[in-house]
Amino acid sequence: MNRATRHRTPFSISVLAGIAVLFFLLPFAGLLVRVPWSDLVEITFDSDVRRALWLSLRTSTLAAVVSALLGIPLAWVLARTSLPGRSVIRALVTLSMVLPPVVGGVVLLFSFGRRGLFGQYLDDWLGIRLPFTTAGVVVAQIFVAMPFLVLTVESAFRQLDPRFEDAARTLGASPWFTMRHVSLPAVRSALAAGFVLAWARALGEFGATITFAGNLDGTTRTMPLATYLALETEPATALVLSLIMIVVSFTVIIGMRDRWLDNPGRSTS
């Protein structure tokens, strides 16, 4: 490295950056100090905790998968077509990302709730009820998580030179073949990043879930809900639940990072 590219960091910048690091580090230190390590195993294998953990993993993974199935096509449409109203759609997607989750829960309740605008037909015609069901948890999670995937993948599609797709077309590829063998592999890092972001957001979902799906043990009580509930009565359990979520999230992010995120040039075929 030559001297021109290696700047000396101003002292004040170092101090402020250091404070930022501490701000992220200290809460975790505080948690780790207070975790009841001697009861850790017992609490972890407590059936309430296990149920909440299992429910959270199932719902957030399903939410991330559905977000990918619907979100990748939407990202493509936003990035590559001249569909009228694209900016309105993008604003709508962004809105549900920045909206307070509890408001998300309220709008879901008044649209897909049992007396909601569409919910009553879901119930009358199809017998589907979302509030107070696990499906409702997944719907709430998708609502808040999909925007992360859509915006991440859309930005990657935008950065992909459309001439790669032109090249594929001149080589005889159909639009679907081009999508599957050229466009999607080219943005695979963004797909992985978007999937992890959506999954993490779904895992942490609280406000929309409790508002729309309620707080039923084993059905809609996910890890964040269980943690909040435990905080009032059994702080030790809340600490263990938090620790489990930290470990799970951290493991996934590290795993994805090694495999995908930092290796945009690496082959996967």
**Per CB under 8 A, does 72 bind other proteins?**
no
Measured CA to CA, the distance from residue 260 to residue 34 in angstroms comes to 34
**Per CB under 8 A, does 80 bind other proteins?**
no
Q: Which is nearer to other proteins, 78 or 182 (CB)?
A: 182
Burial pattern 52-82, b for ≥16 Cβ within 10 A else e, equals bbebbeebbbbbbebbbeebbebbbebbbee
What's the token pair of residue 16? 């402020």
**Piece in contact with other proteins (CB under 8 A), picked from 18-26, 69-77, 159-167, 211-219:** 159-167
Provide the residue count of the chain: 269
**Per CB under 8 A, does 186 bind other proteins?**
yes
**Per CB under 8 A, does 171 bind other proteins?**
yes
Q: Which of 141, 138, 161 is nearest to 149 (CA)?
A: 141
**Per CB under 8 A, does 232 bind other proteins?**
no
Q: Which is nearer to other proteins, 174 or 251 (CB)?
A: 174
Q: What contacts 184, CB < 8 A, 6 or more positions away?
A: 72, 191
**Piece in contact with other proteins (CB under 8 A), picked from 42-50, 52-60, 156-164, 216-224:** 156-164
For the CB of residue 153, give the shortest distance to other proteins in the complex, in Å: 16
**8 A C-beta contact, residue 104 and residue 141:** no
Q: What is the largest CA-CA distance in the chain?
A: 72
Measured CA to CA, the distance from residue 185 to residue 169 in angstroms comes to 16
Q: Which is nearer to other proteins, 122 or 192 (CB)?
A: 192
**Per CB under 8 A, does 268 bind other proteins?**
yes
Q: Which of 217, 202, 205, 206 is nearest to 132 (CA)?
A: 217
Q: What contacts 170, CB < 8 A, 6 or more positions away?
A: none
For the CB of residue 165, give the shortest distance to other proteins in the complex, in Å: 10
**Per CB under 8 A, does 82 bind other proteins?**
no
What's the token pair of residue 172? 């005889």
For the CB of residue 57, give the shortest distance to other proteins in the complex, in Å: 30
**Per CB under 8 A, does 167 bind other proteins?**
yes
**Per CB under 8 A, does 269 bind other proteins?**
yes
Distance spanning both ends of the chain, measured CA to CA? 33
**Per CB under 8 A, does 172 bind other proteins?**
yes
Q: Which is nearer to other proteins, 127 or 265 (CB)?
A: 265
**Piece in contact with other proteins (CB under 8 A), picked from 56-64, 99-107, 178-186, 203-211:** 178-186
Member of 12, 170, 232, 233 binding other proteins (CB under 8 A): 170
Measured CA to CA, the distance from residue 190 to residue 94 in angstroms comes to 18
**Per CB under 8 A, does 181 bind other proteins?**
yes
User: Given the rule CB under 8 A, which residues bind other proteins?
Assistant: 161, 163-164, 166-174, 177, 181-182, 185-186, 188, 265, 267-269
